[in-house]
Amino acid sequence: MSAAAGAAAGAAASGGLVRALPAPRPDLSMREGYHSPQVPVEVRLNTNESPYPPPREWLDAVCELARDISFNRYPDRSARALREAIASWHGVRPDQVFPANGSNEVLQSLCLAYGGSGRKALMWEPTYALHSHIAHLTGTEIAQFPRAPDFAIDPGSALATVEKVRPSLVFLCSPNNPTGLAEDEATVRAIIRASNGLVVVDEAYGQFSSWSAVGLVADDVPLVVVRTYSKTWAMAGLRLGYMIAPAEVVDNMERVALPYHLDVLKQAAGRLALRFSSEMESRVAAIISDREHLVAELSGLPVEVWPSQANFILWRPLRRDGREVWEALVARSVLVRDTSRWPGLEGCLRTTVGTPAENERFLAALREVLA
């Protein structure tokens, strides 16, 4: 049967059921620029993934373990073994760990439990777009304030803002995506002291940075630190993230997480990954050294470059339109993140640190474009 004949037969059989579908909530449109276009190119430096696959031994261990899994049964709902492994890796207790499907799901669970109608989430822009997006989706009122011109959070005005807004959630991002700078430790401490709400430090890129807020987490401190397997652990495809938090906050996540949200294979794969931390640490060291090389090379070109403590670099062509440069790079099969139309980032582009060969392809293409 042809497609048209099939559709006609379907309409006839539906007996008057066919009509326009209802519209979704009118406030669902995604803030412009979140999704990075998935353009087929040879060099992909747009989504801050690891350029290296996870260790082969990890994959072998996962395959081996998969054979013994009872897939007919639901997974351990509390992901106990995974929590214990993450907790011992960080030197905290298992009841201070909440794992989820990527750190985005951790952020969503936090907003569901601590945000919602009549509550506010505070953040300083530009920052990770999903902080405001998820807050919005969960009905949380968003309070957005600008960062200083160097993209740091000005400590004086931040404290006044916290006291004025009285947020239920404060989002910090260290290192901040897409600008690359780690939040200042003294500012983070001051914000925790000033806030009555929960302070969330998103450390998706934490292992590339010189300091972490994980050491500040305690049962009587209103601080949550969010981490992911997507970057340092080279497992963006696994969709696993977690938070380190006071036990009471972790307990409250159980009220909003769907039952059995973490599948059995993911729980095992995430636990096994932690056995390969020395491989991961050497990759992080290599990426940091390649980042410094990229920054040095970019500094010799007619672009403004911001210092980075992450696995990406924000830069802005000085004499050319950012979007034009992005297009010219795509034409040379190099994809970077076009942030040039994002508020506060006019003209800027963001490049993920890739393999040395990818970085050289990017630099060669950029030199040609800017010549």
Contact between residue 340 and residue 349 where contact means Cβ atoms under 8 Å apart: yes
Whole-number Å distance between alpha carbons of 64 and 44: 31
- Considering the complex, state which of residue 96 and residue 177 has its C-beta at the smaller distance from ligand PMP: 177
In whole angstroms, the minimum distance from the beta carbon of 17 to ligand PMP comes to 38
- Considering the complex, state which of residue 128 and residue 362 has its C-beta at the smaller distance from ligand PMP: 128
Residues in the chain: 371
**If phi over 0 gives left and psi between -120 and 50 gives alpha, with beta otherwise, what is residue 102?**
left
- Considering the complex, state which of residue 312 and residue 326 has its C-beta at the smaller distance from ligand PMP: 312
Contact between residue 284 and residue 310 where contact means Cβ atoms under 8 Å apart: no
Instruction: State which residue has the least CB distance to ligand PMP.
Output: 102
In whole angstroms, the minimum distance from the beta carbon of 312 to ligand PMP comes to 9
Radius of gyration of the chain (CA): 22
Contact between residue 326 and residue 340 where contact means Cβ atoms under 8 Å apart: yes
Pairing of strands 169-173, 223-228: unpaired
Chain contacts with ligand PMP (rule: CB under 6 A): 48, 102-104, 128, 173, 177, 202, 204, 228, 230, 236, 241
Query: Residues 40, 43, 47, 49: is their CA dihedral positive or negative?
Result: positive
- Considering the complex, state which of residue 312 and residue 315 has its C-beta at the smaller distance from ligand PMP: 312
In whole angstroms, the minimum distance from the beta carbon of 64 to ligand PMP comes to 26
- Considering the complex, state which of residue 152 and residue 236 has its C-beta at the smaller distance from ligand PMP: 236
In whole angstroms, the minimum distance from the beta carbon of 202 to ligand PMP comes to 5
In whole angstroms, the minimum distance from the beta carbon of 226 to ligand PMP comes to 7
Contact between residue 192 and residue 171 where contact means Cβ atoms under 8 Å apart: no
